[in-house]
Amino acid sequence: MSASRNHRLSRLLTDVRPPHEPVCHSLSNFYREEFVKCQRCLEQQREFYSERAIEDVEQALTRVMAQLDRLCTKADADKVVSRLLRQFDVVTGLSAWSDPRHVH
């Protein structure tokens, strides 16, 4: 392999972000919006839960959202994050508040 071609190849490999990064970023943004909806829903139902329960769920939501970028790089990201959203839905009831015509 010529030195010029070798240089171009190494530059290409180091200058270009991996193709999955924009997809992961978009996916994590989508899921982050869903978790924010859970937070809003929880806030609207604050009077129905103890302060301790609210704090625990808020803390869990914060932890999950902080890890979304990393979670979305995994092969089973959809499965894992969907399961987490369903678990939060048990508490927040977000799916009952959603308009079924806007479900993705």
Beta carbons of 46 and 54 less than 8 angstroms apart = yes
Q: Is residue 104 part of a domain?
A: no
Domain that holds residue 78: 3-97
Please give the residue that has the higher pLDDT: either 79 or 104: 79
Is 103 within a domain? Answer: no
pLDDT at 4: 55
Assess if residue 7 is contained within a domain.
yes
End-to-end CA distance of the chain, in Å?
Answer: 49
Tally of domains within the chain: 1
Give the model confidence (pLDDT) of 44-102 as tens digits.
Answer: 989 999 999 999 999 999 999 999 999 999 999 999 999 999 999 988 888 776 555 54
Tell me whether residue 102 is in a domain: no
- Check residue 32 and give its pLDDT: 94
| pTM of the complete model | 0.68
Distance CA 89, CA 80 (A): 14
Q: Is residue 61 part of a domain?
A: yes
> How does pLDDT run across 7-40, given as a tens digit for each residue?
544 444 444 444 445 667 889 999 999 999 999 9
Whether residue 13 is contained in a domain is answered as yes
